[in-house]
């Protein structure tokens, strides 16, 4: 699991440019599914089983990034806009990688930093020449580290959700009484776009997103009962999703039956692919299994390995048993 996580989090793939991470995941799941395909928006969808309750599992492949949109005259400095939820106070000094291999350094004008327009990317290759043109997407650069039972990396949102999905596929060994579709979705960070087309194509009976959530165990942090090391977080509510009681109880009962540590998640800001899935067709009962994460949308997102395993066990248990809700 650690090796797979490292490969995924260190792979370049900002929103709308998920082709590299999709190729990597495609290779990982090639022997784990009965059928795989890529839909028109770029989601990778994998089917296991047939004929039972139709379940759509969604974990998004994209990561937050940026798009260059202006070059300062006669300089190697590029202005940029966000692709997803950048936190301005974390940008200064960060390095970004363009698909052509150019490395840029984000800097801020003296006294600035409140507005994104205060920042620029230094891509000078020599003197004042520009190493890459405008109109290029970039993702953040940072190697993954393991500290005891903690994984620290960029883009754990939501590559760690992809890891949970892949490892559950591995444990299922293509055996399920249900008809399960694993969707590795695109463009979640810019509007849950991939989940919408995936759900429209699959027409599921039940939807489950696998995504990260915040934690409430940081000093002077937000008040939230979710904590690292507390187990899988079963979503109850977020601004985009009120989880149906039957879905929530189904997940709780599975945890208690399989002795999986769990906690309940009430998220005050943000949402997941599940909020898009629930609105498809005449409505799809949807929930979310969340991985508690510190320092979201930074290059040092942090998760607990035990929580990741709890999420894998929960997802596997839900799909390995007949569903009767």
pLDDT digits (tens, 9 = 90+) for 225-284: 999 999 999 999 999 999 999 999 999 999 999 999 999 999 999 999 999 999 999 999
Q: Which of 111, 140, 169 is the last residue of a domain?
A: 140
242: which residues sit within 8 A by CB, 6+ positions away?
none
Of residues 83 and 112, more confidence is placed in 83
Instruction: Evaluate whether residue 81 is within a structural domain.
Output: yes
Of residues 130 and 271, more confidence is placed in 271
Same domain, residue pair 47 and 121: no
256 is catalytic: no
Same domain, residue pair 205 and 163: yes
Q: Give the Cα separation of 72 and 279 in Å (integer).
A: 43
CB-hemisphere CA count at 13 Å for 323? 26
Would you say residue 129 has pLDDT above 80?
no
pLDDT digits (tens, 9 = 90+) for 9-44: 999 999 999 999 999 999 999 999 999 999 999 999
Instruction: Evaluate whether residue 44 is within a structural domain.
Output: yes
Of residues 315 and 77, more confidence is placed in 315
Instruction: Evaluate whether residue 47 is within a structural domain.
Output: yes
Same domain, residue pair 118 and 259: no
Residues spanned by the domain of 136: 65-140
Q: Give the Cα separation of 143 and 123 in Å (integer).
A: 21
Instruction: Evaluate whether residue 149 is within a structural domain.
Output: no
Same domain, residue pair 59 and 74: no
Same domain, residue pair 128 and 183: no
Same domain, residue pair 86 and 175: no
**What pLDDT is attached to residue 127?**
64
**What pLDDT is attached to residue 271?**
96
pLDDT band at residue 306 using 50, 70 and 90 as cut-offs: very high
- Quickly list DSSP for 111-154: T--SSGGGEEEE-BSSTT-BSS-SS-EEEE----EEETTEEEES
Same domain, residue pair 257 and 178: yes
Catalytic residue among 28, 167, 188, 189: 188
**What pLDDT is attached to residue 293?**
97
**What pLDDT is attached to residue 124?**
86
Q: Which of 140, 167, 201 is the last residue of a domain?
A: 140
Contact 167, 312 (CB under 8 A): yes
Instruction: Evaluate whether residue 147 is within a structural domain.
Output: no
Structural domains in the chain (count): 2
**At 240, which CATH number?**
3.40.630.10
Would you say residue 214 has pLDDT above 80?
yes
pLDDT digits (tens, 9 = 90+) for 55-111: 999 999 999 999 999 988 877 899 999 999 999 989 999 999 999 999 999 999 876
């Amino acid at each position: 699991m650690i090796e797979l996580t490292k490969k995924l989090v260190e792979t370049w793939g900002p929103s709308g440019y998920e082709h590299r991470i999709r190729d990597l995941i495609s290779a990982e799941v090639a022997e784990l599914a009965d059928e795989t395909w890529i839909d028109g928006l770029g989601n990778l969808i994998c089917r296991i089983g047939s004929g039972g309750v139709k379940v759509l599992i969604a974990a998004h492949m994209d990561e937050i990034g940026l798009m260059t949109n202006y070059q300062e005259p006669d300089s190697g400095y590029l202005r940029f806009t966000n692709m997803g939820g950048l936190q301005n106070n974390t940008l200064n000094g960060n390095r970004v990688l363009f698909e052509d291999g150019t490395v840029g350094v984000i800097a801020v004008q003296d006294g600035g930093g409140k507005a994104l327009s205060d920042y620029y990317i230094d891509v000078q290759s020599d003197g004042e020449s520009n190493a890459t043109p405008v109109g290029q997407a970039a993702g953040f650069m940072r190697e993954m580290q393991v500290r005891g039972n903690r994984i620290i990396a960029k883009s754990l949102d939501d590559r760690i959700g992809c890891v949970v999905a892949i490892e559950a596929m591995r444990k299922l060994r293509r055996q399920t009484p249900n008809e399960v579709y694993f969707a590795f979705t695109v463009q979640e960070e810019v509007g849950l776009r991939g989940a919408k087309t995936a759900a429209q194509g699959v027409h599921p009976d039940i939807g489950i997103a696998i995504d990260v959530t915040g934690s409430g165990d940081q000093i002077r942090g937000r008040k939230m009962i979710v904590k690292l090391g507390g187990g899988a977080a079963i979503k109850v509510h977020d601004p985009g999703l009120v989880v149906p009681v039957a879905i929530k109880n189904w997940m709780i009962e599975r945890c208690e039956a399989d002795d999986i540590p769990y906690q309940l998640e009430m998220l005050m800001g943000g949402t997941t692919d599940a909020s898009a899935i629930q609105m498809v067709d005449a409505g799809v009962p949807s929930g979310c299994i969340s991985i508690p994460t510190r320092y979201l949308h930074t290059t040092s997102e942090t998760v607990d390995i035990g929580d990741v395993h709890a999420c894998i066990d929960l997802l596997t248990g839900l799909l390995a048993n007949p569903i009767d809700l």
